[in-house]
Structure 1
Amino acid sequence: MERTRTDRASAGDASPAPDAAPRGPVAPAGGFVYGAADEERRHAVRRMKTLATGLLLAVALVYALATWAGRAGAGGWTGFVAAAAEAGMVGALADWFAVTALFKRPMGLPIPHTAIIPTKKDQLGQSLGDFVGENFLSAEVVRRRLRSVGIGRRLGGWIAEPRNADRVTAELSTALRGALTVLRDSDVQAVVGEAITRRADAQEIAPGLGTMLEKIVAEGGHRRVVDLVVARAHDWLVEHGDSVMAAVSGGAPGWTPRFVDRKVGDRVYKELLRFVTEMRDMPEHPARGAIDRFLADFADDLQTDPDTRARVEHLKSEVLGRGEVQDLIASAWGAVRAMIVAAAEDERSELRLRVRAALLSLGRRLSDEERLRNKVDGWLEGAAVYVVTTYQREITSLITDTVAGWDAAHTSRKIEAHIGRDLQFIRINGTVVGALAGLAIYTVSRALG
């Protein structure tokens, strides 16, 4: 217990007095640093205090000498000097009291409404927060200020400069690379895979496929595919005729003679080759017409037949549920990410060139087109007004909470260091103005008898 009292006493002795000059930067509980610049200001305040106090002592000495000289019969002028000096003392003492009462209790006396800053610190912070909220964070003030600045025109002129467009492009590329580096591939792949799967499950694809197929058939787009398939089939038959004949012969009954199997196989091969060749060379071949009718009917079934649509949906679910498809969806992010990173790092990549060109175009349009400028200014004004009206309390609470967290003694010392020099001029002015006022009053009173 005794040791605790000793520790507390030692800690109390170690803390600097309110008027003591701290050695080096001091960071009180509020996070507010009292540094070398503040110490230099305090030295200036002390010099001004010495000057103001010296002036008070000077007028007091003048008053004493003038009073003594008047009693000694030096003449009527001593009354004027004594009145001026007396009023100067009163003015100096009154202003000394007013200035001192801001930061501490004059002469340590518990006079009401003194030590205003240490005792009213939190109320001052609240008042400052309210003042800022009412006069700086109102919708009208923000909108009027942004409109007078003309952000759209300035932004357009700045972006229209090639070097600025290059700088913005480089910064965007750096930000994009940083964002892609921070993102975990596994998380993004899971999100992408889930999004694609959920969207595919939620939307029926058969009607869309049917509409697309119907349009393709109507425009004859499928004929190129038929041409390709028929041409490839013809080439394959020419190169693999022996395989076709062997397959036909191998499927014949065992009791048929060999030469009959070869004859049948040769006949089947030639007929098949003739059919494929005619289909390749004749655009109006009946088989092609049959394919057209089949595709047209299938497109109609995809759109109208419930059974066909249900089968397509079932097939879609089976395909999406396969692990290979999910792995393909997930791996797509890795490929896209690598492509974007490579493009962002290459100064001559198509991505960066397009971004730069878009920025230059945007800058020129903002500079030349008033309608676009007004639209951009309206967006910015709306966003700023939304922020200040929605978060006004949070913004002003930053001021009030910060001031509330400051130590009262350090706050008083900090403020005095910044404005104390000007306050000492008030003492000096009070001395001079008081002396002039006293001289004028004494002169008028003597003139009126």
Structure 2
Amino acid sequence: MQGLALGLLGFMAVLFVVSFIFQDRLPWLAYVRAASEGGMVGALADWFAVTALFRHPLGLPIPHTNLIANKKDEIGEGLGSFIEENFLADDVVHNKLSEISGARMAGEWLRMPGHAERVSEMISGIALGALTVLDDQDVQELTESLVRRHVVDPDWGPLLGRATESFVTGGHHEALVELAAGRIEQWLVQHPQAFDKMLSSQLPQWVPSIVDRFVDQRIHAEAVRFVRRVAGEPDHPARAAITKFLEDLSRDLQHQESLQEQLEAFKHEVFNSPRIRTLAASTWQAARAALVEMLEDPQSELRQRMTVALQDFGRNLEADSTLQFKIDVWVMNVVEYLVSTYRHDLAQVVSDTVQRWDTQEAAEKIELQVGKDLQYIRINGTVIGSLAGLAIFAIAQLVIAPLAGV
């Protein structure tokens, strides 16, 4: 574009020379001379104006030239303020966000083939990066600190007592009693020899074997009958005894200091055990290795389930207008809060970036962005100057000269 503008200036200069030489022989060339002369003036004037923005014309330190380099910092501050006041204003952000349904568009995008897989791959990459950066010792110390603060340090007695009391009051223990009785009955039926051997070992050696078998069979049958009745009769005395035991236990856990102290001592003994800490460390290492393996494999069950979950979420977003509205409102509130809180910081990024630029670099960057359009100013100046020169000379010849008697 600079070459085009310069070529047009050269063309006007050639026209001026030719018309100036031959205007005495061909009077009409005076009009061409006036047009070319005005075109050269307009081209030179606009060349000076455009060049003065980015550098000193012809390298001469003329005042009020090389404006971009001299005013770089002020331009950066003004640009940052302009963005802050006009693009990051509360009403502008709110109106823009209210015009779009980001949730619906996200749902449509996730539902399209391949997009859920891309999101799954991105999430897996982030998770892999986090797992790679995390140090085992740091994770163990953090986990131990959190567990100790929220699990070990609080007293367990009152908490377990209240939980047991609520559990018994709601009758939830009845199902466990039935389950336990059923499992015991099943074991007794399937393993009579083990039960018989357990009883026979307690009888004296002088008791005959036939008596042993009779006692074993009799007690085994009674045991099966007993647990069967416990499981099938809600009012069985054994169930009432269990309920009473749990009620007493819940009360003692809440109010009996000796039981609470025993529980606390047992808790600290367990959690301070080196075996427990070693088990926790090995558990984390095994879990991390398994996670890394599944995240690295695109065909792993974890990655496949993640992709399916994202596709389902996309379908729900696209179809459920209520869910769309809730997510859009949540996103709008978050964005508006972030913009209102960090508006100045965001605009300051622009100002700081421009200020860090080298002065010549800044001028070149801006010239590359708008320079093409600025060259049109030089071209238009050449054309307008030619027309103006022609018009002025024509008026002078047709109006002023006759009046002056020339």
Give the shorter-chain TM-score range. 0.7 to 0.9
SS in 2 for 1:137: coil
Q: Which blocks of at least 5 consecutive residues in structure 1 are unaligned?
A: 1-43, 250-261
Q: Which blocks of at least 5 consecutive residues in structure 2 are unaligned?
A: 231-235
Task: Measure how far apart 1:364 and its partner are.
Answer: 1.4
Is the CA contact 1:156–1:362 (under 8 Å) kept in the aligned structure 2? yes
Cα distance in structure 2, aligned partners of 1:154 and 1:391: 26
Alpha-carbon spacing, 1:182–1:209, altered in 2? closer, same or farther (3 Å): farther
Query: What pairs up with 1:214-233 in 2 under 5 angstroms?
Result: 215=170, 219=174, 221-225=176-180
Alpha-carbon spacing, 1:343–1:106, altered in 2? closer, same or farther (3 Å): closer
Name the residue aligned to 2:51.
100
| Residues 1:426 and 2:382 aligned together | no
Name the residue aligned to 2:4.
48
Name the residue aligned to 2:244.
293
Task: Measure how far apart 1:288 and its partner are.
Answer: 6.4
Name the residue aligned to 2:14.
58
Name the residue aligned to 1:244.
202
What one-letter code is carried by the residue in structure 2 that aligns with 1:376? I
Task: Measure how far apart 1:392 and its partner are.
Answer: 3.0
Is the CA contact 1:343–1:350 (under 8 Å) kept in the aligned structure 2? yes
What one-letter code is carried by the residue in structure 1 that aligns with 2:201? S
SS in 2 for 1:202: coil
Cα distance in structure 2, aligned partners of 1:366 and 1:217: 38
Task: Measure how far apart 1:120 and its partner are.
Answer: 1.7
Name the residue aligned to 1:129.
80
Is the CA contact 2:102–2:328 (under 8 Å) kept in the aligned structure 1? yes
> Please, which moves more after superposition, 269-278 or 206-215?
269-278
Query: What pairs up with 1:338-417 in 2 under 5 angstroms?
Result: 338-345=289-296, 349-416=300-367
Name the residue aligned to 2:138.
187
Alpha-carbon spacing, 1:55–1:136, altered in 2? closer, same or farther (3 Å): farther
Is the CA contact 2:94–2:336 (under 8 Å) kept in the aligned structure 1? yes
Task: Measure how far apart 1:368 and its partner are.
Answer: 1.8
The CA RMSD over aligned residues, in Å, is 3.9
What one-letter code is carried by the residue in structure 2 that aligns with 1:244? Q
Cα distance in structure 2, aligned partners of 1:421 and 1:344: 50
Cα distance in structure 2, aligned partners of 1:409 and 1:330: 58
Task: Measure how far apart 1:54 and its partner are.
Answer: 0.7
Task: Measure how far apart 1:129 and its partner are.
Answer: 2.4
Name the residue aligned to 2:399.
447
Task: Measure how far apart 1:138 and its partner are.
Answer: 3.0
Name the residue aligned to 1:281.
225
Cα distance in structure 2, aligned partners of 1:84 and 1:430: 12
Is the CA contact 2:103–2:328 (under 8 Å) kept in the aligned structure 1? yes
Cα distance in structure 1, aligned partners of 2:394 and 2:216: 137
- TM-score, normalising length: structure 2: 0.77
Count of residue correspondences? 386
SS in 2 for 1:221: helix
Cα distance in structure 2, aligned partners of 1:422 and 1:270: 111
Task: Measure how far apart 1:292 and its partner are.
Answer: 4.6
User: What is the CA deviation profile of residues 222-268 of structure 1, one whole-angstrom value per residue up to 9, with x for unaligned ones?
Assistant: 2543565686697545214553235xx8xxxxxxxxxxxx47xx999
Alpha-carbon spacing, 1:147–1:214, altered in 2? closer, same or farther (3 Å): closer
Name the residue aligned to 2:160.
206
1:438 aligns with one of 375, 389, 397: 389
User: What is the CA deviation profile of residues 88-131 of structure 1, one whole-angstrom value per residue up to 9, with x for unaligned ones?
Assistant: 34323322221222223334544321121222222222222222
Is the CA contact 2:13–2:36 (under 8 Å) kept in the aligned structure 1? no
SS in 2 for 1:244: coil
Cα distance in structure 2, aligned partners of 1:96 and 1:288: 103
Cα distance in structure 1, aligned partners of 2:366 and 2:238: 97
User: What is the CA deviation profile of residues 363-399 of structure 1, one whole-angstrom value per residue up to 9, with x for unaligned ones?
Assistant: 1122222222222223333333333333333333333
Task: Measure how far apart 1:191 and its partner are.
Answer: 2.0
Cα distance in structure 2, aligned partners of 1:269 and 1:294: 34
Is the CA contact 1:59–1:88 (under 8 Å) kept in the aligned structure 2? no
Name the residue aligned to 1:256.
none
What one-letter code is carried by the residue in structure 2 that aligns with 1:433? I
Is the CA contact 1:52–1:424 (under 8 Å) kept in the aligned structure 2? no
Is the CA contact 1:55–1:428 (under 8 Å) kept in the aligned structure 2? no
Task: Measure how far apart 1:340 and its partner are.
Answer: 3.2
Task: Measure how far apart 1:307 and its partner are.
Answer: 4.4
User: What is the CA deviation profile of residues 45-73 of structure 1, one whole-angstrom value per residue up to 9, with x for unaligned ones?
Assistant: 3x23531441352354267447x62xx8x
Alpha-carbon spacing, 1:58–1:156, altered in 2? closer, same or farther (3 Å): same
SS in 2 for 1:245: coil
Cα distance in structure 2, aligned partners of 1:286 and 1:140: 73
Alpha-carbon spacing, 1:82–1:352, altered in 2? closer, same or farther (3 Å): closer
Name the residue aligned to 1:259.
none
| Residues 1:172 and 2:123 aligned together | yes
What one-letter code is carried by the residue in structure 2 that aligns with 1:93? L
What one-letter code is carried by the residue in structure 2 that aligns with 1:294? F
What one-letter code is carried by the residue in structure 1 that aligns with 2:352? D
Alpha-carbon spacing, 1:242–1:192, altered in 2? closer, same or farther (3 Å): same
Name the residue aligned to 1:160.
111
SS in 1 for 2:62: coil
What one-letter code is carried by the residue in structure 1 that aligns with 2:66? A
Is the CA contact 2:5–2:379 (under 8 Å) kept in the aligned structure 1? no
Cα distance in structure 1, aligned partners of 2:222 and 2:347: 85
SS in 2 for 1:337: helix
What one-letter code is carried by the residue in structure 1 that aligns with 2:385? G
Alpha-carbon spacing, 1:57–1:80, altered in 2? closer, same or farther (3 Å): closer
> Please, which moves more after superposition, 348-357 or 362-371?
348-357
Cα distance in structure 1, aligned partners of 2:240 and 2:379: 110
